[in-house]
Amino acid sequence: MLTNGRRQGPITRFITPWDIGELTRPFLLLNYAEVTQRSRPLFSIYPPSGAMTLAIVLEGELSFEDERGRLSGVAADGAAWMKAGSVVWHEGTPPLRDPLRLFHLWIARLTEQHGSVAVSESLAADGVEEDGPVRVFLGEFGRARSRLQHAPADVNCFHVRLRNTQQFRYVVPEGHDVTVLTVDRGGLQLPAGERILWEQSALFGPSSNLIEVQADGETSFLLASAKRLA
């Protein structure tokens, strides 16, 4: 299933709880943002109490304040993770000259992960493990593992950068029956001839045990997989 992102100002929405989020659970919401200097908060809606959030910064710098008033920030190629509670996201302070680019993902918590205690942590670029072109933010890929201490172990989320014509294959872990692939730069060619273009997202179901793509130009994309929640 191939979908186009819906742009609203600086934010492109790929998944929302009131749209295909019912098909992609536990992935409830996926935004891609590309912004210049702004004074107001970047995201105006907040995750429900049963959701965790992950922000992956591709360029620029992002600041956030959690419900306890704790201020923190994350720079390019890093990530911020939030469990429970509300969070306010801003551009870095002071704003940088380069545009801010990031992915923002909501993930539903499993029953055993429910709780009201707010937990937030961040990863700097040098704290993100890599295997080839893959940077691992949640879960694992090859030799690389997520270093987020409070993140779920049964959800994978990577950012992948490929050179022109470079190939990539992902063996979907056993038990993962929903995979989302979203392109933020360039394009991807699938073996059947379909293409996933910039600001498009592909949803793969339980029959997709192996995902193979080839880059069409310099390409980067987000890939996330997990067991689907009813």
- The beta-carbon contacts of 84-89 under 8 Å, at least 24 apart in sequence, are 84/49, 84/52, 84/115, 84/116, 84/117, 84/118, 84/119, 85/49, 85/118, 86/46, 86/47, 87/46, 87/47, 87/53, 87/120, 88/41, 88/64, 89/41, 89/42, 89/43, 89/55, 89/62, 89/63, 89/64
Using one digit for the tens of pLDDT, what is the confidence trace for 100-126?
899 999 998 765 544 556 677 889 999
| pLDDT score for 83 | 75
Percentage, residues of the chain above pLDDT 70 = 80
CATH class assigned to 2-226: mainly beta
Using one digit for the tens of pLDDT, what is the confidence trace for 164-212?
999 999 999 999 999 999 999 999 999 988 899 988 999 998 888 999 9
pTM of the model: 0.88
